[in-house]
Structure 1
């Protein structure tokens, strides 16, 4: 199937305004994201066709003129068989996938390490500050609209609901149309979506950061009655009363009581992180870095070494994962540095690369990388291979909190999202996120790191 000059490789997702496809450019073969105007039945009932086209063109124009490292780039706009489409940068991961948010948005999600969560929030605020300076309010900031590159950079997407300062058309809300996403949209956005300013986006970032750090949504009624956000500090040792105050401001019911700009919120967040680093340093003075944690029951013989093909409906059982796709048992590794770029896990007898691939690569390139290790006899061995999910899961630790940051890490943290040899289909394979401790799958054309294993 083709849309214009582009070959469609698969559907990535649908929204109210359109559908997004993974596509391939002619000649170069580069993978791109192709968004085509394909409104839902409900949207067609609420909004006239001319208005829909005007909104679609407006989204492309807005994204096209905002040149910022944390805003996804638009490369092309065209019309095929009477239907407009535009071409964007393609990224495999988004924040919604990383935290494990499902169609049951209110269900608990995975917590992220504080440094990772703050990095994602800060980059989002940088993107929003650029937008707001240009007089644009996004109005739909949520995890699934934050793409994540192979270098852990945030790319803000989906400007279909964005509004230029002072404009009435083409992006004003139709009667009965809901602007924004439940749980993430600011309260004033539901009441008067065409009158909101950048502080509505600030509210959304507050909700996302709260969720990244706690694994839950701040949905307590107190948020809307007494302007008191449920205490984030009850969910994490990393958070204290200063963080509670921060969230009270970020998600204040009254926009006048929120941070006035995205830049102001980022400055406040930076100050909190500095205080947190001091807390970590103080904790490290008293922690025993060699303190033992209860070992997981393990036997080297039961760690599968042969690749398997695991369908989505059976993967949790095959890999031994919980409802959020995390290994049932973590912290089993007992690593010893060998001094030659490798570490040995005394618990399983496996030898691992201490670092891994310098660059993210596709699944096919991952196999080629391992082959090159064997050709050069890395560390004196020629039997390196791509690990199974079971083997990589044995390295997973709990996301760190306070004192856990003090313990020296023998494995290079630069290689975090790692390919396995296990496949989901002939086009997709399974990966493991080391720092966030979960298993996921992606198209084999996505780019992740490699950490080879032997033994």
Structure 2
């Protein structure tokens, strides 16, 4: 029997392109564990395309991410050995007793009962909300990576190809490298250097729910055909294949499968909110028909009452605490709601604008740059009409617009924005302010690249009447 340290490797229970997972026994603590090692065959077969060092780096990153989260929907990492040659590395995980979702679907003939499919989806969504708030993108959500315990609790496995935002985590993906499982991959994953955001996981979540409802993912066939379908084809609505799906659930599912990230739900938290009413209803069949002929859907008493909200002042402090801790995925829905609530003239429009600015920054830190740019641009347009040019919030919002224009490959527009905003930053915030420094750094980089400021299109000349 093979051993690693104090662990006896007893049964191989899982194997992927990078790792092997063994049911093991801890001879010291006398308890079962799951030991993950680098697949020895991977080291040999991929030697010409991926170096052992790169494989080891991704393995170590997975261990770091495993240690970072404590959540009921994730297995617990007990220990790891991350030093030495790739063949010496291992992770010690909690052993999850149950079946993966792929096995469950196979035994069920492909489809699951509506209630069970929604229960599994809600649990996975809650887990995604946890990792996205860090923010970490899983990138390989699929049935074989979802374990289901005997108590029907889900556990999300395998952070081997996760994407991590932040300077402490260098990019490990090689150019042209396709990571994930084609049937569950979002369109942006097939684009070289495509931007991977939390909505990338939400697309895969939609593929999972579609399969649990209908018996197969949205697109099937040869990999090249499936890749093209993800980019160009609209899947058949699940409700056409299974009429007992509630209309609102089908709408949510199709929004998860939108081609553009901006058209998908803004966060896993919002998906969870839309699923919540269906998790408490005893008979989803009552909601299977359109609202026109459905008394249960028309009767507010048939749906669970919304929980009473805490006062806005308390929720602002809650959101700020989440924001300061870097839990941007959790702070975002609170700031969105506060921004809408406080916008009325007789309430607190200034505080609403501050919440909207924080929500836009959450989008930025979660990797949804186009959405962040849209939010900041809209807010800047409103603030310019109401506040003096030197207002701190307006300066920050206009600066973020310029920085995001540069990040979204619109350097000319970014340069034009910086040309008007930088003197105000220097005069009113000072040359050493962090925002002034950030704008100055990008401004100078664009100047060195020789970017030209776009000239406004002249108005057409009109001939004078004679």
Smaller-chain TM-score bracket: 0.5 to 0.7
* Secondary structure at the counterpart of residue 147 of structure 1: strand
Report 1:37-436 matches (<5 A): 37-38=38-39, 40=42, 41-78=44-81, 82=85, 83-91=88-96, 92-100=98-106, 109-166=109-166, 170-192=170-192, 195-219=195-219, 224=230, 228-271=234-277, 277=283, 279-280=285-286
1:413 equivalent in structure 2:
none
What displacement does 1:282 show? 9.7
1:293 equivalent in structure 2:
none
1:16 equivalent in structure 2:
17
What displacement does 1:245 show? 1.9
Structure 2 residues not aligned, in runs of 5+:
221-225, 295-466
What displacement does 1:224 show? 4.3
Distance 1:195 1:176, change over 3 A: same
Higher strand share: 1
Structure 1 residues not aligned, in runs of 5+:
102-107, 286-455
Distance 1:56 1:247, change over 3 A: same
Higher helix share: 2
Aligned equivalents of 1:140 and 1:100: distance in 2? Answer: 20
Aligned equivalents of 1:170 and 1:110: distance in 2? Answer: 39
What displacement does 1:270 show? 2.4
Aligned 8 A contact 2:199 2:264 in 1:
yes
Aligned equivalents of 1:48 and 1:194: distance in 2? Answer: 23
What displacement does 1:5 show? 1.0
Greater RCO, 1 or 2 (C-alpha within 8 Å, sep 6+): 1
* Secondary structure at the counterpart of residue 233 of structure 1: helix
Aligned equivalents of 2:83 and 2:166: distance in 1? Answer: 32
Aligned 8 A contact 2:199 2:267 in 1:
yes
In our comparison, the structure showing a higher alpha carbon Rg is: 2
Aligned equivalents of 1:162 and 1:282: distance in 2? Answer: 37
CA RMSD in angstroms, aligned pairs only: 2.9
Aligned length: 278
* Secondary structure at the counterpart of residue 267 of structure 1: helix
Deviations 1:404-440 (A, max 9, x none): xxxxxxxxxxxxxxxxxxxxxxxxxxxxxxxxxxxxx
Aligned 8 A contact 2:54 2:172 in 1:
no
What displacement does 1:225 show? 6.5
What displacement does 1:157 show? 1.0
Distance 1:174 1:226, change over 3 A: closer
Distance 1:279 1:110, change over 3 A: closer
Distance 1:272 1:225, change over 3 A: farther
Deviations 1:167-215 (A, max 9, x none): 5955531234221111101110121466201100000111001111111
What displacement does 1:85 show? 0.1
What displacement does 1:238 show? 2.0
Aligned 8 A contact 2:186 2:230 in 1:
no
Distance 1:226 1:47, change over 3 A: closer
